[in-house]
Amino acid sequence: MDLQYKSIAELEKLCEDIRKRILEVVSKNGGHLSSTLGATELIVAMHKVFDSKKDPFIFDVSHQSYAHKLLTGRWDEFDTLRQFNGICGYTKPSESEDDYFVAGHSSTSISLGVGAAKAIALKGEQDERIPVVMIGDGSMTAGMVYEALNELGERKYPMVIILNDNEMSISKPIGAVSRMLSSAMASPFYQRFKKTTEAFVDNFGEGARYIAKRMEESLKLVTPGMLFEEMGIDYIGPVDGHNLTQLIEILETAKQLKKPVIIHAQTLKGKGYEIAEGKEEKWHGVGPFDISSGSSSKKSSAKSATQIYTEALLHLCKDNDKIVGATAAMPSGTGLTELIEKYPNRFWDVAIAEQHAVTSMAALAREGFKPFCTIYSTFLQRGYDQVIHDTCLMDLPVVFALDRAGIVGEDGETHQGVFDVSFLRAIPNMTLFAPRDEKSFHQAMAFATEYDHPCSLRYPRGAFLDTEGLPESTKFTLAKSQLLESHEGDILFIGYGNGVGRAYATAKLLDESVSLLDLRFVKPLDTTMLREMVQKHKKWFVFSDTSKMGGVGSALLEFLADEKITDVLVESFEYDDCFITHGNTKVVEESLGILPAQLAKKAEALI
């Protein structure tokens, strides 16, 4: 939509329409809600002042970019938000030229902005283009932001950064004074006056410059922007993030400054939908719900793997005061909320700082504690160096509990938890194992607590796949698998973690009898059991919610190669070498051909 000639009244009406559209779709499809409702005026003002066709619009995480999608030709197809083959819940350049970059993980935006600003400078396009970055206050807890700001303050590339502060964290007295000062500082008159004064003072030598500088610094002391100003980045704020007139004026001023500027805007989460307004975490990301009441649609009664993890850890903590833990800004998502509430001195939410989470837990392990570092599979990627350098190199007994391992559904490519086995398996001293159901999860947690080396266990989003009818899980012992079903014939199904349930469901669809092995440990492997299986079964089928490249099948092939075994066929039903799209998990699995009925046909053809 071309907003250039629209009046403030028309823009305010547009904001109402945008919020209504977002509510209408998210209540049906699920998605991010409170933060994206709160960012509506900010995004409308961005599009009023800048041009997303040429100015890089960079949204941190980009879960708050729904208004941007609606303003850039996706109003009608917004009904397909987060659906298979529909609109992505995050920015995605393949979806629209107005989406500058793929984003799904936090705190990358300012680095992207600095890179874009460098390219614009190299191309000589500073008078035509300027990066516009929107970042939430939560994302400011990650170190990568300050690495980027550090360079930006030194290089002085033109850039406009909108800090969307929706936690109302600025106190009222300071906020009132700051708003008064910021209104003046943001005006074109003030900026012209400041430049003129600087030139005037320069004529009177170092003493006058020193006095002027001290006067300016004394003003900054009553603003929350001291940090940014000291880093060499102009600061304006806090400003009302829902006042379109003020936002547009400030953005116009920032655009003309031709230097890095941070605009600190305060917004209300859930703005326009009273039930969700405020700081309630449950409205950040939601499933389908009823708009009139705010009540969620009926959820599955099956116990989630995250719930099992919480129960197991609470049980272990009662008798072991050495157990500690951390999560990176996901206490409810990872099930640590109860632990943090019950043991506030032993469990911590360290904010969006996976690197810090891992390294701080390594130090606790060094001091004799037993840390559980509880992180989504996709987010552990951000702490990979710390896993290697600060944990495994020292052979420290940190447990990495990886939630949402496997396909996570509507969040798509940036959040699918498919790479952890591949990238962790390569690290010396690391042990990898996985439970298949509730009982085995408790046993796996008990093993992890006693294990004196780095280890990782993975578990899915939602409930484990059904394994009812299989023998009960036995105690976890290092590098020991469990043979669940044994039959004559060539066929062996090997399941890892949630893959056991998929293997079991597939086996029940076959006419032939199939032996079933719960691998349990992918590093180290149960070489004794595998040598026994080589003698009995010549066709192995691998089931695991992991990437095929470097995954469970690769580990088994490496074992066979080391053993010089050439007469065993290994067929892996893991994920192919691609980024997996968003959509309902079952629909995505069907597109990948890994539903039990599809796998049964593939297995029959190979058999």
CA distances from 17 to 2, 13, 376, 408 (A): 16, 6, 35, 31
Whether residue 139 sits in one domain with residue 33: yes
The predicted structure's pLDDT at residue 226: 78
Q: How many CA atoms lie within 13 A of 338 on its CB side?
A: 13
> Cα(514)–Cα(504) distance, rounded to whole angstroms?
9
Last residue of a domain, one of 228, 261, 277: 277
The predicted structure's pLDDT at residue 465: 97
32 marked among binding-site residues? no
Whether residue 414 sits in one domain with residue 536: no
Whether residue 176 sits in one domain with residue 249: yes
> Cα(600)–Cα(559) distance, rounded to whole angstroms?
26
The predicted structure's pLDDT at residue 283: 86
269 is catalytic: yes
Of residues 69, 74, 370, 382, which has the active-site annotation?
A: 382
> Cα(289)–Cα(571) distance, rounded to whole angstroms?
42
573 in any annotated domain: yes
Question: Does residue 533 contact residue 564 with C-beta atoms inside 8 Å?
Answer: no
Residue 374: CB atoms within 10 A of its CB come to 28
Of residues 92, 220, 269, 370, which has the active-site annotation?
A: 269
Q: Are strands 370-376 and 431-433 parallel, antiparallel or unpaired?
A: unpaired
537 marked among binding-site residues? no
The predicted structure's pLDDT at residue 278: 80
209 is catalytic: no
- Give the CA-trace dihedral at 112, 114, 120, 121, to 10 degrees: -160
Sheet containing 260-266: which strands, arranged edge to edge? Answer: 57-59, 132-136, 159-165, 260-266, 234-240
**What's the CATH number where 211 sits?**
3.40.50.970
Whether residue 119 sits in one domain with residue 20: yes
> Which residue's entry shows tokens 């920032």?
254
Whether residue 575 sits in one domain with residue 436: no
297 in any annotated domain: no
66 in any annotated domain: yes
Rounded to 5 degrees, φ, ψ at 334 are -100, 0
105 marked among binding-site residues? yes
Q: In which domain, by residue range, is 403 found?
A: 305-458
Q: Are strands 521-523 and 515-518 parallel, antiparallel or unpaired?
A: unpaired
Whether residue 492 sits in one domain with residue 451: no
Whether residue 488 sits in one domain with residue 397: no
Rounded to 5 degrees, φ, ψ at 134 are -120, 125
The predicted structure's pLDDT at residue 183: 55
> Which residue's entry shows tokens 């408790």?
442
Question: Does residue 237 contact residue 175 with C-beta atoms inside 8 Å?
Answer: no
The predicted structure's pLDDT at residue 178: 43
The predicted structure's pLDDT at residue 228: 86
Cis status of the peptide bond prior to 238, with omega within 30 of 0? yes
> Which residue numbers in the chain have pLDDT < 70?
1, 167-224, 279-280, 298-299
> Cα(93)–Cα(515) distance, rounded to whole angstroms?
46
138 marked among binding-site residues? yes
> Cα(233)–Cα(140) distance, rounded to whole angstroms?
15
Residue 328: CB atoms within 10 A of its CB come to 28
382 is catalytic: yes
- Helix/strand number for the chain, H first, E second: 23, 19
Residue 577: CB atoms within 10 A of its CB come to 9
The predicted structure's pLDDT at residue 194: 61
The type of residue at 292 is: S
> Cα(288)–Cα(286) distance, rounded to whole angstroms?
7
The predicted structure's pLDDT at residue 191: 60
Question: Does residue 79 contact residue 25 with C-beta atoms inside 8 Å?
Answer: yes
CA distances from 33 to 29, 228, 278 (A): 11, 29, 12
299 in any annotated domain: no
The predicted structure's pLDDT at residue 522: 98
The predicted structure's pLDDT at residue 180: 44
Whether residue 266 sits in one domain with residue 336: no
Whether residue 314 sits in one domain with residue 269: no
Question: Does residue 121 contact residue 157 with C-beta atoms inside 8 Å?
Answer: yes
Q: Which residues are CB-neighbours of 508 under 8 A, at least 6 positions away?
A: 596
273 marked among binding-site residues? yes
Last residue of a domain, one of 442, 458, 474: 458
Whether residue 208 sits in one domain with residue 112: yes
Q: Which two tokens stand for residue 339?
A: 């632990």
Whether residue 309 sits in one domain with residue 414: yes
106 marked among binding-site residues? yes
**274 burial level (CB within 10 Å; 0-12, 13-18, 19+):** exposed
Q: Are strands 491-495 and 539-543 parallel, antiparallel or unpaired?
A: parallel
Q: Which two tokens stand for residue 72?
A: 């850039």
Whether residue 410 sits in one domain with residue 321: yes
582 marked among binding-site residues? no
User: pTM (2 decimals)?
Assistant: 0.90
Question: Does residue 134 contact residue 105 with C-beta atoms inside 8 Å?
Answer: no
Of residues 41, 354, 410, 589, which has the active-site annotation?
A: 354
554 in any annotated domain: yes
336 in any annotated domain: yes
Domains in the chain: how many in total?
A: 3
90 marked among binding-site residues? no
354 marked among binding-site residues? yes
**What's the CATH number where 517 sits?**
3.40.50.920
How many residues does this entry show for the chain? 607
295 in any annotated domain: no
468 in any annotated domain: no
Q: Would you give the distance in Å from CA 511 to the centre of its chain?
A: 42
